Structure formats: structure tokens, C-alpha cells
Chain A
Amino acid sequence: MGNEFLENRFHVNRRHFLGKLSMGLGSVALGSLLIPDLFKNDENDAAAFSGLSHFAPKAKRIIYLFQNGAPSQLESFDYKPLLNQMAGQDLPESIRNGQRLTGMTSNQAKFPLVGSHFSFKQYGQSGTWVSELFPNMAKIVDEMCVIKSMHTDAINHDPALTFMQTGAQQGNRPSMGAWLSYGLGSENKNLPAFCVLLSRGRGNGQGVYSKLWTNGFLDSIHQGVQFSSSEERILYLQDPKGRDREASRKMLDHLSELNNLNYEEFGDPEIQTRIKQYEMAYRMQTAVPELSDLTKEPDRIIKMYGADCLVPGTYASNCLMARKLSEAGVRFVQLYHQGWDQHGNLVGEMPLQAQDVDRATAGLVMDLKQRGLLDETLVIWGGEFGRTNYCQGDLSKDNYGRDHHPRCYSIWMAGGGVKPGLVYGESDEFGYNIVKDPVHVNDFHATVLHLMGLNHEKLTFKHLGRRYRLTDVAGKVVHGVLA
């Protein structure tokens, strides 16, 4: 079995592990889903757990607010007045420095610079620059750590998204959430450790793919479970029509009896595992609808997220849902908000996108804070790359577009052990290259794992002869952002 991480944990008590193994692989899988509980319940396991050489976590849970399509850093957090001054002039070759372009602008004869159509101001004690598109986020800058020096290897959406989520540009590697589920398990017996919520804005969209929340080569118990906006939040969660909870219970009781009979005959521990899985499914059927019922939230909370949060499937609704899931102990809640791909009509589309997310995002952070959860919850906001400082297509007086730009972009984090009120890293005056403290995607992953108490070089899984990591073969913890 390639489950090296578990093996490591159990090294101090190998015989005990073999004892578990003899219950069958399925029970190990179940165990890994419930590791914290498992360890709490068993002294030997607790001993094994503390034998792990990783360190005390700063954050216990993550809420990742992924802005899918790549929001422009130049209209959000990276203020570049020079671009307004030089509007229409060509991007100097000395700045571009031969950097490759996407197929969409590589045929452009000119690369006219364009500054933000939206005004910027400094906010908070930290004096963080934020554009007028994000008035609510602007109010929480002192909770945020803005990284202006992110950079990535990929220049197109699919590979860049995949890279940001799985540490590799090609699919089939486990997603961040899967890694954390694998490494830390779930805190709640009735909910999956890794939940995914999707929403779509009104801007140019790029789609998402289930490979972004895949378990890759890890056990599929670590797969992100997609929550839908429909009444049935999880695939086939609802009892069929004509069968209520009580009737389902009755069915399960008879089913367990039948399965137990078979266990007596065959002795296969997988049968016991299956019985347990039915019980957990039954508990999920109660737990998830209860949790998804947002109508019981008090008005003051609804106000924080905005009225949209009562409309299922909106970003705001997903933010509120994310808080509830996270509060209930879900290790990793992943949101995707689509529509940030402003190749053209940026001036028209970006405000709509910002409107979707601004209030709810700020609301989520403040809600966590007032509940005392922000300290142990890491909130991440950002996209898969940045956007060019020059205009794609026609530059008119009041509108423009921006192409993909992997060489620098901005994201922010809050809570969970990051330094609040910090702006980290810097791009040049053109907003094109990084001039200070670059943070590569691998570094970002290493840092996130670090905050969760995991050493990115030790959280490994051996698959087809190679030890895989979320950070592949690179990545350095960015100590400058740690609280």
C-alpha cells in the first residue's frame, strides 16, 4: 500500500498498524477520514500522532475563495499610476524583456499601456491601496495580508488553474484540499473533509473542472465533494420520494442485519466497513440539510454577507455556507467564482464581478472574526494569474481589455497565522515584473501547508515509484507573511 504518510504516523507502533491493516484497507481509508477522532479515542494512536515531526498548526481550516478567470491586479490591489500617465504608449521592450505572450495578443503590433479606469485609495492603519471596486474589502485591509508578488509558470487558464490547485499543470495530481484531507483528516464525522462550492458571475467565464478538486492518486475518500446550489446539496443526498427518514432508518437496520449475516459467513472486514459507510451516509443526510439551511441566520449576519446570500448558488450564499461548513469542522472549503477573464470590456465587466464578491468576502472574514474563528481559519482570495499592463484589442478612451499575465499578480490571505495588515512583495512601476519578494505558486503552497502545521517536504505520497508532494520539487515557506 502506498499510504506512506499513514505509515509514517504508525511507524512507532507498527504492530498496531498491522492490526489495523488486518481489518482491511477499507477501514484504513475510513480511519484516515476520521483521523482526529480516531486519535482522540485511542491512546496508542495518539502516541503515534505526536510522533509526527511536523509542528503545531496556526490554522486548522481553510476557506479558499478562488476568483476564477484571473481578476486584474491593476484594478484591485496593485496601484500603478505610471500606467495612467503613460496610457497609450507602447510597453517598453526593456520591461517586457522577451516574455512570452499568449496566442491572443502575440499578433498585436503594439502593446499600449493602460492604467486603471478605477480610482485607488489607501485604507486602514496599514495604508493598503485598494481600488474603488472593492469598498468592503477595503474596510478589512488591516485583517489582510496582500501578496503583490505572486507569479506562476502557466499562461493559460486550464494549466494555471490546475497548477494553483494541484501544484502541477497537468491533471491527475491531488488538489490542495485532498492533500489536507489526507494529511489532517476531518474534524467532523458527518461531513466530508473537503467541500467545493461553485458560483458564476456576469463577466467572461472560463469554466471549472472536476480535476481541480480531484484526489489524484490519493484514496478517493479525499476527493472534494461538490455542493450544488439545488435543494439537494450533495449528490443523491435526499431520500427518494415516498421514503422518509424513519423509513430509511428501517431499511438500513434490515440492511445491516443482512450484511452482518454475510460477514459471519465470509469474515471479510470490508463488509463491516461498508456497514459503517451506510451509517455515515445516513448521518450526512441529516447533517448537511441542517447545515445548508441558511434561513435561520439572523438578520445582522445576512446583512454582513448581503441579501444575495439567501439566493442559492450565488457567491454570497456560498460564502455563508463556507462559514457554516468551516465552523462545523470541514477542513477545506473551496469556492470558485467564475467570470474574471476580462480580455475586453474590462470597464464594463469588472465592476459586476466585484459587486458579486466584495461584500460577501468582507462579511465572511468579519463573521469569522466575531466568532473567534478567524485565528484558526485561513481565508485565501485570488485567481490563477494576473493580467497584462497593456491593452488587448482596441484601446478606447473609456474601455480596454487585459490579456493573461503570469509574471506578477496579487492575492490576499487573512486569519490563520498570517500577518494582518501587511502588504508583501512589490512589482515594478509598470506592474509587469516583480522587484521585491517574489512568491511562486510552489512557495504559496509550502506556506499554506506550513500554516496548517505540515512540512511541505514531508507531506508525501509514494505513487508509481515516486514520492509526490503538493510542491513537487520546489517551494519555500514565505516566512515574511507569517504572524
Chain B
Amino acid sequence: MNISLLGLKYIFLLITVELIFSRCEHSSSLSGDSDSIDFNLHIRPILSDRCFKCHGPDAKQRKANLRLDSPEGAYAALKENPSQHAIVPGDPDASIVYLRISSPDTSEVMPPVRSNLKLNSDEIDVIKKWIGQGAKYKPHWAFIPPKKSPLPKVENTKWPKNEIDYFTLAVMDNNNLQPNPEADKERLLKRLSLDIIGLPPSVLTQNDFLKNDAENAYEKIVDHLLTQPQYGEKMAVYWMDIARYADTHGYQDDGLRTMWPWRDWVIHAFNENYPYDEFVTWQLAGDLLQNPTKEQLLATGFNRNHKITQEGGVIDEEYRIEYVTDRTNTFGKAFLALTFECAKCHDHKYDPIAQKDYYSTFAFFNQVPEKGLVGDISLGSLADPPKIKINSDEVANIFSFINKKDTAAVEVMVMQDKPTKRPTHVLKRGVYDAPGDLVSIGLPSAILPFDSLKYGSNRLGLAKWLVDKKNPLTSRVFVNRMWQEFFGRGLVKTSGDFGMQGEMPSHPQLLDWLAIDFMENGWNIKRLVKQIVMSSTYRQSSKVTKEKIAADPENIFLSRAPRLRMTAEAIRDLALSSSGLLVKEIGGPSVKPYQPKGIWEASTSGRGLSRYIQDHGDKLYRRGLYSFIKRTVPPPVMLVFDASNRDQCEVNRMRTSTPLQALVLMNDPLILESARVMAERLMDEKISNQEKIDHAFRSIICRQPKKEELDILMCYLQHELKLFGQSKEKADQCINAGEYPHRKTSDAATLAALMQVIHTIYNMEEAITKT
């Protein structure tokens, strides 16, 4: 088939047709004949993308009263001409849809020229074929509850280490791909350590692991890492993106807020391995549980992490509505991977979420006794009501996980419902002052009908609906995102969109198997993590041949481990941890590490936090997740490495490679300081220069250097020794990096030269790559 004109998504589908097709449970009624067309795989992506905008679920936008998203609509007689039908199953030439999409007449052709949308000849052929084969519709895969299918049969039964591997190997088999061999021990350890605790393994840990030949050596490391408190920190980063956590209110004045105790709770919850259903229920509706504990109240801070305005003169109700909107959209994206926000102003154009459904969901979050504007920035509210106060006694007794140093109580925003229900209206065009019909609470029934008698008619009911095992999305969405954490790409690539416009899963059966297994095992997150990292799929080497890159450039079929640039936080943590600068304290108020001068000052409104007052001492060496996030001016280095600006819920960070990143790694004082401190420490050791470089390399890259690498670095060291030997001044300037106390040295030239070599190692591509 000529694929030259297809969209990439579609190409991918074609490549995978045979494979998913013959195995996909949703197409079980079809034979393995690759000529058969499947609605979910082949047709919906085209119809949704090119047709549904005018012939889809949105009744207001619907043209010619024709909808193509349901068989009833598509088979029905045309309103304008009852003798004709959009689709006549089995007869493309009698189907107006086919005639119109294939029409050479530009005034006739669909989609209309004006829409800037087009169908290419392959797509038209596929639709023709589908109609010819009976134009069978199927429900969207994501709304069908997952089913646990038996493990696929594979030839190489030695390779799979657990269930995951049967699914991935079967897909590889179908694509004539062989899995990569297992990664070497050092690289595997680095990968594992970064994935579970977000920190590189120390040289000591590397030595232990290299020496340990026991069969369960790997599993032991996995178990050990999962008990480390740094695990909670690593997981919290990802959850903070979802929860749009920040240390300021956002909007133009952007004053300070104190939500960090909520962040400390998230770390705690991951470390204590709260089951996901409970973790979510507490955050969505902890306040509505029977006799809620204060910890459960604190957890509801999740829904108060959104931006809050302090701009004098705003219209109160406009912003209150904005906050409820944010909660509603976040709920859709974070837990259901649906683009709810599209239904705020009109019926969703692709997914079965009517505007009315949107406001029914909105109604759950519309009951908070809050105001759009509590006070202007001069009043400096750290927490707008409703809020709770946490004092030192409570920290000592029930909140041991909150790292509160100050003796003063700390206030945290939480959720609460008004005693009397606030009526909720559809807002016409989404505008706050254009109320339409009154709606009652509810959730889109295409996902799972909401029975308020069964679930209850408040946010707790919403949470119960969400974690109901019958909900087809909740578990799938979460396991998919966890998969994304480890493999860089979800089994559904569009981890924030499981709707019609999202991508089809690359491994539908695996996704379903994991989703059900997760629920069957008590929504146990650590168990899921272990399951993933124990698989052969995860343990593969990331080497890639030209053939594999040509066959599968995006590594959709998982026949190798991905090589992924580390996150902004992980890069910072790597520098700190490898140099020994890291202060391993957990939680507490966010800190202000080095930042180029004048960044806050240049953009402030003059109110609120207008000056960046950098911290000193230990606070300079905390992990990246504790860096203070001022929403309007997030730490620039973090943004350079694609961190979220925490404006809105974000489920998937980009991973780019830019020259600005090179500038940071070459010139950021933190990296220079890490190199300096490591060099100082190595200077104290009674070992050869080569051994020093070897040690530095192992601390940063987490493996032994190859001979060629050592040669290059030794050669560079010689060069630098000569350079600094000639200029003591340069050497002194060089080793002056950072505030960490300097050790007296009698040999500045050697120290500077060694520091340069270490700094170069920090700049190696492999240093900041999970490999």
C-alpha cells in the first residue's frame, strides 16, 4: 500500500494493523485477514479527525443534521433527501458519504475545502472498503471495560520474566523484531535507580551490585530502592505536575502561598504506598469521608492547587467560576484522560461529553464556600478559605511527615462543601455571566452511568464512581501513565487523551491486563512499579541498530529500552548527589537555590514577591522538587529542561534538546560547583589522577569508563594542567565556583584541571540520559 500520503498516526496504524488486528480483543469477531477493516483501528481515527467536527456529537455544530459517529445517524435517510443515505452498508456507490468524499467537484467534496481538512486517496479507499464490508460500527475502545485476556503464545518462552513480556514479545514477533539482550549491569542499575528514587547509584552501590552474582541480586536492589524515602520524592514530582502544585498563587501579582504541607503529604502517601483508589479518594473527597481525619482534609489540597487571582478589580464570580473550571478540567485530564475542557463552551466535538455533562461534573466542584478574589495582594493571604491550620503539636503527633521548622502554625487550603447546595447552570459559551439551564450533578454516562443513590450525591460520590472497578478508564489511565514514567511513552501515547482523537493503544491487551491486575491487587502502586521493572522488556539494553531504527523509529514495539533525557529535577539531583552535595532532608517549605540575577525583578508587578532572595547553606543543595516555583516566573533552568510551569494540570512533559540546555550545563554555577566540590574531595584521596577520573566518571555516568574514554579525559587533564600551571589566576577564578565552603589547597592548578575534567563529564550526553 502506498503510504506516502498518510498522517503519521495512520501510518503507525497500518504498520500495526496485522498485529493488533489479529490479537485485538475488540476485533475478535474478524478474521486475521489483513484486508478486513476495523472501525476502531482504521475508520474512527479518520472520521473523528476529519468529519466529526460537523457531523459528530456536538448537536449545535452539526451540519445537514447528519451525524456519522453512530450507526443510527449514518444509516438513516438523509433529512434533505430521504431517498438517500449517508452510508448504505455493503454498497459504497450508494453511500453519499463515499460519493462526497471522492467527488472531484470542489463544491461537492467533503470535507469542504474551506475547512482546511482533507482526505487522501488511501483514506478514501479505506472508507470505501469499510462500507463495502458492511460499515460496522464499534464502541470506542476506551469506554469498553478492560478484559484480562490470556497470555499470548510466544515462541521464545525463555525470554519472558513476567506477564508483561508475553504481550510485548508477541508484538515484536509480529513485527519481525527480536528483543535486545539485557542491558549491562551498570547501566541497568543506573536506569533502575533513576526510575525508582530519581537519584543515581553511588559508586559503593555499583560495586555491591557488580559483585553480587546471586540470581535475585536485581530483585533485591528493586526491593531495597522501593523502601527508600527518596522513592516518594521521585513519584511526587510527577504528581505535582498533575496537581499543578506551585508555591505562589499565579496570575499577575502572584503572591506566596503555603501548600507545601500538601506536597509533603504526597511524598508520604507514596512512601506509605497508599492504594491508588484511596490516594485519589482522599484528594478528591477526603473532607466528605465520615469523621475525616486531619490528614484526609490535608489531602484535599489537591483541588486547591489551582491558580488564584489577587488582581484588584477582577470580577469575583468570573474567577470563582475559573477555579471550578480548573478543577473540572483537571479531574477529566488527570483521572480519566479526557479533554473535558472542550465541552465547557459547547458539546464535545469528538467525545461523548455534552456541554450539559460538563456542567453536571462541574456541579460537584461548584460547592466550595470560596470567593474569586479574597483580598488583594497587599493583604498577602497565604491560604484563602476554606483552609486548615496545622500547629506544631499536630506535627509532632499526627503529621510526622510534615517538615515544619517554624513554630508558627501553617495554613493550608483544603476543600469543603457549602451546607446549602449552590445551583449549577450550563454557562452559555462557557461565559460566567451567561447562565443557561439548571443542571444536577452527574458524570458522562458513556463512561459509566452515575447513580447518585449508589454513589452519593457529592464529591465523595464522584470519587466512588471514579474508583468503581467498572469504570473503564481510571485504572487504565493510571497504569498507562506509570508505564510512561518508565518507558517515556505510554502504551497509549496520548496519555492525556483516551478519547476519539487520542492514539490507539500500541499494546491494547497489555494495557487491559495491567489495568485489571492493578485493580485486582488492591491498586498497589509499588507492586505495579516492581512488576514493570522486573520485566525483561524493561531490562533490555537501549542499543539501537540502523535496522531497528528504520523499522521502529519511535520504539513503539519496545524491542529495546528507550534512551531518555532526564527531567529538570533529575538533572539537578544528579549533580548534587554525585558530588556529595545533596542534602537528603525530606519536605518542608520550598527553597530558593541559585538563579541568575534580576529575573523576578524584571517582571514583577511590584507587589507580592518582587525580589528573589536566594537561600544559602543547606537550602542550596536540596532536591529539584523543592525548588520554589513562582508561577509567573518559574525557575528558568527548569523551564529550559521542559519542566511544567504549573499553570495547569500536565500529564506528559516534553523532552527536547536545545542549545539553551547546553549553555546551562556548561555554565550553571550549580554544575560548576558540583564539579569543584567533587574535585576537592578527590584531591584528598591518595590515588592516581587516572583513578580520580575513574571515580568521578563512575559517580556521574554510573559505569566504568572505557579505555578510550579514559584516554580522552587523561589527555584533557594534561592539557588543563598545563594551562592552569601557566596561570594561577585563572586556576583561582575557576575553583571559586559556588558557595559551598572551599577546602584549602596548595595546588590550585591541579584542582582546577581536575574540576574541568569533571565538569566535562557532567556535560556528557550520557550523564543526563537514562540509558
Residue A327 interfacial (CB < 8 Å):
no
Query: For residues 261 through 286 of chain A, which have their beta carbon under 8 Å from a beta carbon of chain B?
Result: 261-262, 265-271, 273-275, 277-278, 280-282, 284-285
By beta carbon, the residue of chain B nearest A274 is B765
Instruction: Please tell me if the beta carbons of A277 and B497 are within 8 angstroms of each other in the complex.
Output: no
Query: CB-CB < 8 A to B6: which residues of A?
Result: 14
Contact flags B581-606 to A (C-beta < 8 A → 1, else 0): 00000000000000011110011111
The interface-forming segment of A130-138, A251-259, A429-437 is A251-259
Query: For residues 719 through 771 of chain B, which have their beta carbon under 8 Å from a beta carbon of chain A?
Result: 719-720, 723, 729-737, 752, 756, 759-760, 763-766, 769, 771
Query: CB-CB < 8 A to A223: which residues of B?
Result: 639
Q: Which of A104, A232, A265 contacts B312 (CB 8 A)?
A: A104
Please report the C-alpha to C-alpha distance between residue A155 and residue B431 in the assembled complex, in whole angstroms: 13
Q: Which of A155, A229, A262, A266 contacts B598 (CB 8 A)?
A: A229
Instruction: Please tell me if the beta carbons of B765 and A240 are within 8 angstroms of each other in the complex.
Output: no
Contact flags B340-363 to A (C-beta < 8 A → 1, else 0): 001000000110000000000000
Instruction: Please tell me if the beta carbons of B658 and A255 are within 8 angstroms of each other in the complex.
Output: no
Residue B656 interfacial (CB < 8 Å):
yes
Please report the C-alpha to C-alpha distance between residue A29 and residue B553 in the assembled complex, in whole angstroms: 15
Query: CB-CB < 8 A to A261: which residues of B?
Result: 706, 708-709, 712
Query: CB-CB < 8 A to B251: which residues of A?
Result: 158
By beta carbon, the residue of chain A nearest B717 is A254
Query: For residues 627 through 659 of chain B, which have their beta carbon under 8 Å from a beta carbon of chain A?
Result: 631-634, 636-637, 639-640, 642, 645, 647-648, 654, 656-659
Query: CB-CB < 8 A to A270: which residues of B?
Result: 563, 565, 657, 765, 769
Please report the C-alpha to C-alpha distance between residue A211 and residue B251 in the assembled complex, in whole angstroms: 10
By beta carbon, the residue of chain B nearest A262 is B766
Instruction: Please tell me if the beta carbons of A172 and B648 are within 8 angstroms of each other in the complex.
Output: yes
A383 to chain B, nearest CB (A): 14
Residue B5 interfacial (CB < 8 Å):
yes
Q: Which of A22, A100, A219 contacts B656 (CB 8 A)?
A: A219
Instruction: Please tell me if the beta carbons of B632 and A103 are within 8 angstroms of each other in the complex.
Output: no
Instruction: Please tell me if the beta carbons of A210 and B603 are within 8 angstroms of each other in the complex.
Output: yes
By beta carbon, the residue of chain B nearest A30 is B657
Instruction: Please tell me if the beta carbons of A11 and B598 are within 8 angstroms of each other in the complex.
Output: no
Query: CB-CB < 8 A to B709: which residues of A?
Result: 258, 261
B356 to chain A, nearest CB (A): 20
Given A266-B771, A281-B662, decide whether A465 and B339 contact each other with a Cβ distance below 8 A: yes
Q: Which of B7, B605, B659 contacts A277 (CB 8 A)?
A: B659
Given A158-B309, A221-B656, decide whether A241 and B734 contact each other with a Cβ distance below 8 A: yes
By beta carbon, the residue of chain A nearest B53 is A467
Residue B433 interfacial (CB < 8 Å):
yes
Residue B405 interfacial (CB < 8 Å):
no
Instruction: Please tell me if the beta carbons of A465 and B501 are within 8 angstroms of each other in the complex.
Output: yes
Query: CB-CB < 8 A to B765: which residues of A?
Result: 259, 262, 270-271, 274-275
Please report the C-alpha to C-alpha distance between residue A222 and residue B168 in the assembled complex, in whole angstroms: 36
Contact flags A19-60 to B (C-beta < 8 A → 1, else 0): 001101110011000000000000000000000000000000
Q: Which of B546, B662, B733 contacts A267 (CB 8 A)?
A: B546
Q: Which of A7, A15, A102 contacts B313 (CB 8 A)?
A: A102
Please report the C-alpha to C-alpha distance between residue A306 and residue B654 in the assembled complex, in whole angstroms: 43
Given A14-B4, A240-B737, decide whether A269 and B549 contact each other with a Cβ distance below 8 A: yes
B110 to chain A, nearest CB (A): 17
Q: Which of A18, A209, A234, A458 contacts B252 (CB 8 A)?
A: A209
Residue B543 interfacial (CB < 8 Å):
yes
Instruction: Please tell me if the beta carbons of A464 and B563 are within 8 angstroms of each other in the complex.
Output: no
Query: CB-CB < 8 A to B603: which residues of A?
Result: 198, 207-210
The interface-forming segment of B68-76, B144-152, B663-671, B680-688 is B663-671
Query: For residues 491 through 544 of chain B, which have their beta carbon under 8 Å from a beta carbon of chain A?
Result: 494, 496-497, 499-502, 542-544
Please report the C-alpha to C-alpha distance between residue A103 and residue B317 in the assembled complex, in whole angstroms: 11
Listed residue (A200, A273, A281) with the most chain B CB atoms within 10 angstroms of its CB: A281
Please report the C-alpha to C-alpha distance between residue A425 and residue B497 in the assembled complex, in whole angstroms: 43
B574 to chain A, nearest CB (A): 16
Instruction: Please tell me if the beta carbons of B657 and A26 are within 8 angstroms of each other in the complex.
Output: yes
By beta carbon, the residue of chain B nearest A209 is B632
Instruction: Please tell me if the beta carbons of A254 and B654 are within 8 angstroms of each other in the complex.
Output: no
Query: CB-CB < 8 A to A232: which residues of B?
Result: 596
Query: CB-CB < 8 A to A241: which residues of B?
Result: 733-734, 736-737
Q: How many residues of B contact A (CB 8 A)?
A: 108
B54 to chain A, nearest CB (A): 13
Given A24-B553, A254-B712, A284-B659, decide whether A238 and B667 contact each other with a Cβ distance below 8 A: yes
By beta carbon, the residue of chain A nearest B502 is A465
By beta carbon, the residue of chain B nearest A206 is B605
A105 to chain B, nearest CB (A): 8
Please report the C-alpha to C-alpha distance between residue A466 and residue B712 in the assembled complex, in whole angstroms: 49
Query: CB-CB < 8 A to A237: which residues of B?
Result: 663, 667
Please report the C-alpha to C-alpha distance between residue A377 and residue B543 in the assembled complex, in whole angstroms: 48
Given A100-B315, A235-B663, A267-B549, decide whether A210 and B639 contact each other with a Cβ distance below 8 A: yes
Residue B84 interfacial (CB < 8 Å):
no
Q: Which of B342, B433, B631, B662 contacts A278 (CB 8 A)?
A: B662
Residue A243 interfacial (CB < 8 Å):
yes
By beta carbon, the residue of chain A nearest B761 is A258
Query: CB-CB < 8 A to B349: which residues of A?
Result: 466
Listed residue (A100, A458, A464) with the most chain B CB atoms within 10 angstroms of its CB: A464
Residue B314 interfacial (CB < 8 Å):
yes
Given A219-B654, A266-B771, decide whether A200 and B760 contact each other with a Cβ distance below 8 A: no
Residue A214 interfacial (CB < 8 Å):
yes
Instruction: Please tell me if the beta carbons of A206 and B252 are within 8 angstroms of each other in the complex.
Output: yes
Residue A157 interfacial (CB < 8 Å):
yes
Please report the C-alpha to C-alpha distance between residue A131 and residue B253 in the assembled complex, in whole angstroms: 32
Residue A220 interfacial (CB < 8 Å):
yes
Residue A228 interfacial (CB < 8 Å):
yes
Contact flags B1-45 to A (C-beta < 8 A → 1, else 0): 001111110000000000000000000000000000000000000
Instruction: Please tell me if the beta carbons of B716 and A254 are within 8 angstroms of each other in the complex.
Output: yes
Query: CB-CB < 8 A to A208: which residues of B?
Result: 603, 632
By beta carbon, the residue of chain B nearest A205 is B606
Query: CB-CB < 8 A to A277: which residues of B?
Result: 657-659, 661-662
Q: Which of B553, B659, B723, B729 contacts A21 (CB 8 A)?
A: B553
Listed residue (A102, A192, A268, A270) with the most chain B CB atoms within 10 angstroms of its CB: A268
Query: CB-CB < 8 A to B309: which residues of A?
Result: 156, 158
Query: For residues 663 through 715 of chain B, which have their beta carbon under 8 Å from a beta carbon of chain A?
Result: 663-664, 666-669, 672, 706, 708-709, 712-713, 715
Q: Which of B544, B659, B667 contacts A266 (CB 8 A)?
A: B544
Please report the C-alpha to C-alpha distance between residue A253 and residue B763 in the assembled complex, in whole angstroms: 12
Given A22-B550, A220-B654, A464-B497, decide whether A262 and B764 contact each other with a Cβ distance below 8 A: yes
Contact flags B181-225 to A (C-beta < 8 A → 1, else 0): 000000000000000000000000000000000000000000000
Q: Which of B253, B542, B723, B737 contacts A268 (CB 8 A)?
A: B542
Please report the C-alpha to C-alpha distance between residue A241 and residue B648 in the assembled complex, in whole angstroms: 39
Instruction: Please tell me if the beta carbons of B501 and A466 are within 8 angstroms of each other in the complex.
Output: yes
By beta carbon, the residue of chain A nearest B48 is A465
In the complex, 18 of the A-B residue pairs with CB atoms within 8 angstroms, ordered by the A residue number, are A21-B553, A105-B313, A209-B254, A210-B633, A210-B634, A221-B656, A235-B640, A235-B663, A236-B663, A242-B733, A248-B666, A251-B666, A258-B712, A269-B549, A270-B563, A278-B659, A278-B662, A284-B659
Additional pairs, 4, CB under 8 Å, beyond known A230-B598, A235-B637, A282-B662: A157-B311, A200-B602, A207-B252, A220-B639
